[in-house]
């Protein structure tokens, strides 16, 4: 007969899972050690070693400026392996592959996580651009076209909350003024797409469109090229292809 003790939940394991669930429920809003301690009804001294271990292994992300914890890229990797069983990721990747091949561009697909873009998919057939945007990598959303479409449904107060310490420049052309960023986001809402010109990577121009799920912006689709390849005519042709890809991906998401 099994020992009843063996059927009891393991406290430390339960706490780790509860931390994941708590940070999932709060979406893009990070939580401090104090927040987590209150939510778990557990002492900080017992939680801190767990949190440090999870951060070191990539399952959580820690922002030392705000002292907040967020879900990490490793959870995305684990989740992707599960989700891929229904072929959704494969279907999106195929659309991106066709877009990249037809237009000779690098294509990224991502979502907003705590003021950053988390890159979920990438197609770089020609490896011409040094974008440093591997799947699972994060970069500030204000510094690229993909991020700006993800931020475009947020008002000035929400944007300011995401960047309490201001906008840190990545290149000389990165926007560093919140008022200017909000003007750019208003333009994105009006146009339906975003542009970025050497704001995240020098010599690279990008165009992005929002991807909706249940009527709200959930993801962004971005195409990048060298500034020497960019032209207004190429942008027009590329946007036509991108809106076709956007519609196909939204249909996949609708049927998920």
Residue-wise pLDDT tens digits, 194-235: 999 989 888 889 999 999 998 999 999 999 988 888 888 888
Taking residue 215's Cβ as centre, other Cβ atoms within 10 Å add up to: 6
Q: What's the rounded mean pLDDT across residues 129-153?
A: 82
Distance between CA 219 and CA 98 in Å, rounded?
Answer: 18
- Order of strands across the sheet with 216-226? 138-140, 116-123, 106-113, 216-226, 204-213, 194-197
CB 104 within 8 A of CB 126: yes
Burial class (CB in 10 A: 0-12, 13-18, 19+), 172: exposed
167 Cβ contact partners less than 8 Å away, ≥ 6 residues apart:
140, 142, 143, 174, 175, 176, 177, 178, 181
Same topology between domain 4-71 and domain 75-254: no
Give the architecture (CATH level 2) of 4-71.
Orthogonal Bundle (1.10)
Tally of CB atoms within 10 A around 143: 25
Contact 69/56 with Cβ under 8 angstroms? no
Three-class DSSP category at 251: helix
CA separation for the pair 90, 75 (Å, rounded):
19
Specify the range with the lowest mean pLDDT, choosing from 25-34, 54-63, 139-148: 25-34
Per-domain boundaries in the chain:
4-71, 75-254
* pLDDT one-digit tens code per residue, 18-32: 888 888 776 556 889
Give the pLDDT mean for 29-40: 88
Tell me the C-alpha distance between 65 and 81, whole Å. 32
- Cβ partners under 8 Å of residue 145, min gap 6: 193, 194, 195, 196, 206, 207, 208, 220, 222
φ and ψ at residue 72, rounded to 5 degrees: -100, 170
What pLDDT band is residue 85 in, cutting at 50, 70 and 90?
A: very low
pLDDT band at 8 (very low <50, low <70, confident <90, very high): low
Whether pLDDT at 1 is above 50: no
Q: What percent of the chain has pLDDT over 90?
A: 45
Under the banding of pLDDT at 50, 70 and 90, the label for residue 81 is low
Residue 148 pLDDT > 70: yes
What percent of the chain is modeled with pLDDT above 70? 87
Residues 75-254, CATH architecture = 2-Layer Sandwich (3.30)
Using alpha carbons, select from 76, 18, 24, 5 the residue that is nearest to residue 46: 18
CA angle (67 as vertex; 61, 68 as ends), nearest 5: 50
pLDDT over 70 (residue 154): yes
Average pLDDT score over the chain: 85
**Taking the chain, what is the end-to-end CA distance rounded to the nearest angstrom?**
44
């Amino acid at each position: 007969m099994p020992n009843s003790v063996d059927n009891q939940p393991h406290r430390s394991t339960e706490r780790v899972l509860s931390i994941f669930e708590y940070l999932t429920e709060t979406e893009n809003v990070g939580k401090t050690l104090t927040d987590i301690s209150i939510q778990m009804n557990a002492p900080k001294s017992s939680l801190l070693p767990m949190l440090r271990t999870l951060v070191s292994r990539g399952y959580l992300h820690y922002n030392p400026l705000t002292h907040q914890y967020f879900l990490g890229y490793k959870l995305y990797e684990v989740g992707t392996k599960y989700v891929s069983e229904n072929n959704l990721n494969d279907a999106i990747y195929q659309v991106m592959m066709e877009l990249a091949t037809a237009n000779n561009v690098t294509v990224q697909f991502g979502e907003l996580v705590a003021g950053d873009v988390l890159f979920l998919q990438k197609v770089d057939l020609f490896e011409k651009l040094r974008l440093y945007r591997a799947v699972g990598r994060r970069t500030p959303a204000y510094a690229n076209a993909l991020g700006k479409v993800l931020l475009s449904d947020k008002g000035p107060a929400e944007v300011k909350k995401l960047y309490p310490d201001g906008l840190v420049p990545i290149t000389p052309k990165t926007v560093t003024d919140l008022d200017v960023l909000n003007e750019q986001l208003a333009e994105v809402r009006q146009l339906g797409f975003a542009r970025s010109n050497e704001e995240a990577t020098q010599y690279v121009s990008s165009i992005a469109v929002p991807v909706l799920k249940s009527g709200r912006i959930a993801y962004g689709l971005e195409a990048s090229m060298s500034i020497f390849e960019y032209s207004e005519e190429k942008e027009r042709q590329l946007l036509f292809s991108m809106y076709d890809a956007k519609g196909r991906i939204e249909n996949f998401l609708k049927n998920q």
